[in-house]
Amino acid sequence: MTTKPGILPREGLYIDPIFNYLRQTLLHPLFTLGCLYLVHGAKLSAVVPYEKSVQLIAGTSFFLWLNDWLSAKSRNNWVIDDSWDWKKELVVVTGGSGGIGGGVAQRLAAMGARVIVLDITPLTYKPVVVNNAGLSRGQTIVEGNYSDNIITLKTNLLAPFLLSKEFLPNMIRQNHGHIFNVASMSAYIPPPGIADYAASKAGLIAFNECLSQELRVQNALKVRTSLAVLSFTKTPLFKGETNQSRFLMPLLHVDTVVDAIVDTLDGLATGPFDKQLVCLNLMEYELASPGSDVFTTTKLL
């Protein structure tokens, strides 16, 4: 059962919700362009000494909004798939015996979808399975043994590659489906001690990018791909503490990530998906690509 966020985020007060609030209020084009009209169009520039600043803020907010809108349309190939009905969909969740995968499986099952959970961990409850398809041994390249390296790469990269390969032919034939890949910030900023994990997540990002382009070439424009680039999240994979500022880089709650994933899936299924699910909007323009729906969360995993 996922927890409901209160007035503050589950992680407490940090920079992301403040930035989001500003983007939706004071930095929204409707507000900034309205201020620009009052200052310039209504001839109030004589009493307002910051006309150039107002022009700069209004222009920036408009182009950011336009970039968001065009990027969302491009990622979805400028088409809408209105055939989604959760009661008729079959959802496969890997790594679903707990953590993020379990939360996603629970939420989708509650929405009426038929959920299949694949995991090597025994199920802890029925009928919804909670799993998390990710593995990290936390050893250096020299210290790690061959079997640990192989199972990490197989679990984090080869398994999602081959599983997607099994379902893709039918998705392409029906021009309907959604493949959601969960990666990590360590693919971009790999710390010492998790080289195999970081390499597998970097490979998963490349796989997601290539897949999105192949679907366009095969004219399966309504088959979606999504990519979550996660940071430190409080799951069985990581239960410790970070040395980073909680305001800038909070330790994410599992339900926050679950909400983002389910909202992404549901956003594409219920109507035009015009929203990038980004927990850290400051990273959005660096990590988001035109080939898929990408959302990031703070810090690296």
Question: Rounded to 5 degrees, what are φ and ψ at 206?
Answer: -65, -40
Which of 21, 165, 197, 239 is an active site residue?
197
What residue has token string 């299949």?
116
Active site (annotated) includes residue 197: yes
User: Can you tell me the distance from the alpha carbon of 191 to that of 185, in angstroms, rounded to the nearest whole number?
Assistant: 10
For residue 191, cis peptide bond before it (omega within 30 degrees of 0):
no
Which of 14, 201, 222, 299 is an active site residue?
201
User: Can you tell me the distance from the alpha carbon of 29 to that of 159, in angstroms, rounded to the nearest whole number?
Assistant: 44
| DSSP-H helix ranges across 95-185 | 99-110, 146-153, 159-174
Active site (annotated) includes residue 201: yes
What residue has token string 């703070």?
298
| 32-41: long-range pairs with CB below 8 Å, 24+ | 32/57, 32/58, 32/61, 32/62, 33/58, 33/61, 33/62
- Residues serving a catalytic function are 197, 201
